[in-house]
Structure 1
Amino acid sequence: MSIDKYETLNQERKIQHTKRKVAAYCRVSTDNEDQANSFESQQRYFRQYIERNPDWELYEVFADEGISGTNTKKRKEFNRMIACAKNGDFDLIVTKEISRFARNTLDSIFYTRDLKKHGVGVIFMNDNINTLDGDAELRLAIMSSIAQEESRKTSERVKWGQKRQMEQGVVFGRSMLGYDVKDGKMYINEDGAKVVRLIFHKFVNEGKGTHVIARELREEGIKPMRVKEWQNTVILRVIRNEKYCGDLVQKKTYTPDFLSHEKKYNRGQEEFVIIKDHHEPIISRELFDKANRILDEKSLSQEGKAKHSNRYPFSGKIKCGCCGSSYVARYKTRKNGSRYKAWRCLEAARHGSPHVDKAGNQVGCSGLSIRNEDATHIMYLVTSSLKYNKEKITNNLLAIIKSIIAMDTAGTDSEKLKSQIKAIEQKRTNLIDLYTSGDITRDEFSAARAKCENEIAELQSVIDSIDKQREMIEKQQELVAEITEAMNELINGVEYEDDFYKEILDKMVVNDKDHIDVYLNLLPLKWSYTVAKSVNCPQGKSLKKAQAPEMEHFRGFSTDIG
């Protein structure tokens, strides 16, 4: 290539880089009127600043208003600016100072490095830093650390001030059902207070459960606050809220990291601010205490705990054939006083039988409930009807299990290792003779002795492991026998608990007592069952579970749906 060609390329480069596209970034921390004015003035300033430079061309002013600079995750305009920079839309970013760009040292270094890789520099005007300069990263790290420390101190000052105000009775938080919060004080909102009193009356005096109360409030057309509709969890929060009897507990949440601003529930990590008889109560303390005693008694019993749990094996697996809703677990009481678990359509549990509520909506469902023991028994019938080579399955599974629990004992002669330890111990004893005779120095003696002790410790650790392996190998045959027995029970149709059936069940659709359909994972078949009225069913497959009282009998058949 001739020299003229190189000169031509240089000229083209100068022409191409005559105008650099420049973006600006600004941010204000609060949303008060003065800062809002500052926000507008910052944008105006950057536009004028860039336009005054003849080599620069304004691309866009990116601005985040009222968002903290300690974390970049929620700064939409900042993140959009970074994306545009990586896309090559502009060449340079101008911002006022590091604290406006990021008060987090890690973010400052990460983003400036990343931008530099894409050929985009950042100019911090007040700090006199251009990230394209050679020493920019060192100065940036120092200034970012200072900004981060200032942010930490500010956070500590704010938290200290807030706690002092809380101790003086100032309320931090927003309005809630029954109370309006204005200027740090709580005022009763009578419309909401009536609903609160109604909830406590239904729960304590009428003995209704939280699910029933939520359903009745929905049917009466009463709207909840800040949630879409009444749920039992909303009722529980109302009953547990100490504010309704006049007490105030603050600092229920805290911010462990000033950089992320992520709030966490306070489980005793920080001191609560507690003020009794702080404001006018909506209900009496006696009624509040009685309601919470009832809740505590329910939560102490295992059945009470399970009633509100969503971790049942059949959860999400049983579907209503009438409305399509999932079934939820409920506990019911028999005539003899014993309790049993049953599954009920969620729509029916929430709204009862089909009807039109006060808002004119069609709600409720006629879907029938099914006992957990019946669902388990149906799954037993399904698995019993499967046809497969039981012996082949057993042998294959055992081969896999044996290969997993088998231990490699090759090269693990503990007697040989013990001989090595004795040799090293003798070597360690000889070191004393070498040191006392002056053949080695004190430092050499210490180093050699430490080496011997480490080798002995490592060998002893291996011997201990071998001993443990031998103990496990002795129990291996017993373990294999237990596994074999368990597999034979599964394959030969022993009725198991819900956990086993959960893994193979895709869904169980309850249309009515005459139509219960079962679909298994990965199998193109549908099993249909109906409740039989007698033990001798002409179509067969009717079994009785003797242990379960009032057990239904089922008959069924399978259909290929592949």
Structure 2
Amino acid sequence: MKAENRTEFQRMIQMCELHQIDLIVTKSVSRFARNAKESLAYVRKLKLLGIGVQFEKEGIFTLALGDEMLLNTFSAIAQEESKAISQNQRLSIVKRMEDGEYVDSNAPYGFRLINKELSVYEPEAEIVRTIFRLYLNGFSTSELARELNTRNIPTKTGKGVWRSAKVAYILGNEKYIGDSRYQKTYRDTTVPFKQFTNRGQEDQFYAQGTHAPLIDKETFEKVQFLLKKRQDAFSKSTTQNIYPLTSRIQCSECGSFFRRRIVSGNVKWGCCQHISDKNACRSNYYSEERIYDGFIAMVNKLRFGEDILGQVISRLESATIMYKKNNLAAREMSQNIAELNAKLLMLEQLRAKGYLAPEVHQAQSREISNQLASLKKERQTELDTQIIRMLEDVRHLKATLDELEDPLESFDEKLFMEIIKEITISRADEMEMTIIGGLKFTELI
């Protein structure tokens, strides 16, 4: 649940703004917020008001120097736990998709959802058939959109106007022949649950005959052939240049990737949606130099400022020890491993004294060794948690940055490619960099 929808949480924030609260004490980061971005946003807001948050489980006090970075770390862990829960809840949905039994609550134009089944809605179905017929007769998607607007035919929502993209979506939608392709889009598994086009990030499932068709397959296939033919005819073959920032920066406003542009002789990066239509996204253009400067500033703070990474590693090590100590399954496996090692030692002693035939010793030793290898592998899997993986990544990050003898003065492409996982830029000129280990840093650019 988003923080803005948590009534009591918002009441607490309002009381803080009225200076009715001096300190907030919470059990753990996950109880405060399960989204790292929201956690940091509210902690920073409270910090400006002079109000600290004490997280008892993690031992973090937000007014202490360096503890915001630790909060970032544990917020990321809480977010991963929330993500795991969300993924588990999706298993039943994915199973229904595989079986072709899933019904999307959003019925496409020309259908209505009745008793959890897609049913043809004739007033709109006739419009869909007309769109397919006119397209085969030579109309383009833009001409079809104009025609529909001229006839004052309402869209699915009854608001707005027909556009060529809407018409193209109808022409390519397999729902009209009675089939269903699932997971054309996907959502983030944690708040704010943004939706994205599925370009291979998630599995897609295709099921035939899931509902009554609206268009015959022959007509549909003719339209698909014509769509492909026109796309090939009008598309320009261009060689894509790959730059360090290519496919690295996403717009926090709409989720689109940033694209490189030359504006007035300067290299700038802008949101794809904003470049196509300024009204579609309110993002801005940013010079490549400003983005590089933000990266340089972050690296220099981590390497030559306060030892934040060292503190993070120390806290993660403590959390790892605590986790291993409290892991009953792993503890039981360790006990079994110790018993098997004792048996191996006993077998060796019996063989040495001549009480055990060599072939018997060899057979029993092999069997116990196989059991040991299997148990050790199971124990490692049991102990391999997000915290441990994060600890390994942060150690690697610190070792990499420790190789820098002097502050960075210019952009280091090799270092950038090695430690940066993703970047988001907001309309408020805040560049949030996610680096290895899942740590997030924000720089104003």
Shorter-chain TM-score tier: 0.3 to 0.5
Relative to its length, the structure with more helix (as a share) is 2
Greater relative contact order: 1 or 2 (C-alpha under 8 angstroms, separation 6 or more)? 2
Larger radius of gyration: 1
